[in-house]
Amino acid sequence: MRVPKRLLFVQPITTSPAFPNFQKTVLGKVPIGALKGIFTNISPSLDLVPVWGTKTSHRSTWDLMKSGDVVLFVRNNIIEYSSIVVDRAESALMGGSYTLWADSNYSLLIALDEVREFRLPIPQLNAMTGNSSKRVFRALSALSEEGSDRALDQLSGDLGEPLTFSPPIQFNEDAMKAALKKLEDNESSKATVVIRKEQDLLKGVLFQGRSLVECALCGREFAPGPFLWCCHIKPRAKCDALEKVNPSVVTPMCKLGCDDLYEAGFVFVDQCGIIQMNPNAAWTSSLEDYYQSNLVGRACSSFSPLNASFFEWHELNIE
Ligand SMILES: [Zn+2]
């Protein structure tokens, strides 16, 4: 049987909305929850997946893609990123309640891995593949098998082998479970005692005995205590048993405004980790002053793949 060769694809992202879309869902990645039931070949243990999409007018090119192929993203005739195809799927769902791209329906989706910064002018790629040096890529394009072969031969050291997803970073689940089990065993069924001890455990992990800790939203430092709390990103009452003892479910927030604005849904953290204002909240001038002075344009300092899904829950559930 003939083994299909790895192909090389070129995707221009020079103009808007292509580049902001690329920043959002390839560099920023997509929470796995939004991709439920769409891809079959991605690891369910992942939190975030880089995803690209194209329109049905590019179906014949998209149809050629298979796991292990390489997609090069090009801006202004220079390749800036390389990536490996993991899976592709057609879906009108577009991430369910999570909006992948607001501008159009790119229903031919591609799950990627190994997105890497990479710099190579297109004329150099053309020289490698034996194409005319004048070839420009205006839309998603596939190189021929021979051209892909030649280029991959010369680029393989830089692109790496086709890779599967690296395992996600795990919190010490066993230690937390053991501590919780001990709690259940030792304590009476008094819920308040369990909650308090659980909170103590989470606090211990979060603050680690530090005397000064930064508020994840405004960035100001406080001593853990009355002014800085160990706050649930997703409310404890909405968490399942495992989420309740996941140290990533909490983050430090100050009681001088950030925690209350977050909890009341006036602000949320988007899937790029940026603090955003909820335009539907009942803002008054003093609250807006606080936002403008302390939060506008800031990134949440604790945002990571480990807590992105908790922030997403909050974003999707505020009014
Ligand atoms: Zn704060």
**47 CA to centre of ligand 1 in angstroms:** 26
Predicted pLDDT at 130: 81
Per-block average pLDDT, block size 10, for the chain (319 residues)? 77 89 86 83 81 93 91 89 88 68 84 82 85 83 89 66 32 58 57 71 77 93 90 92 84 95 96 92 96 93 90 93
pTM listed for this prediction: 0.51
- Picking from 109, 102, 91, the residue whose alpha carbon sits closest to that of residue 37 is 91
**208 CA to centre of ligand 1 in angstroms:** 19
Question: Same domain, yes or no, for 75 and 206?
Answer: no
**32 CA to centre of ligand 1 in angstroms:** 29
Flag whether 3 is in a domain: no
Residue with tokens 């103009």: 15
Question: Same domain, yes or no, for 114 and 193?
Answer: no
CATH at residue 82:
3.10.590.10
Question: Distance between CA 78 and CA 152 in Å, rounded?
Answer: 17
**229 CA to centre of ligand 1 in angstroms:** 10
Domain count, the chain: 2
Residue 83: what residue type? Answer: S
Predicted pLDDT at 165: 29
Question: Same domain, yes or no, for 203 and 290?
Answer: yes
Angle at 215 between CA 210 and CA 220, to 5 degrees: 95
Question: Same domain, yes or no, for 22 and 155?
Answer: yes
Question: Same domain, yes or no, for 150 and 230?
Answer: no
**168 CA to centre of ligand 1 in angstroms:** 29
**65 CA to centre of ligand 1 in angstroms:** 46
Alpha helices in the chain (DSSP H): 18-22, 59-62, 122-129, 145-159, 173-186, 191-207, 241-244, 258-263, 285-294, 308-317
**294 CA to centre of ligand 1 in angstroms:** 7
Predicted pLDDT at 219: 94
Q: Which residues does 3 contact at the CB level (< 8 Å), separation at least 6? A: none
Question: Same domain, yes or no, for 296 and 247?
Answer: yes
Question: Same domain, yes or no, for 150 and 180?
Answer: no
**280 CA to centre of ligand 1 in angstroms:** 21
Domain with 99, as residue range(s), is 8-159
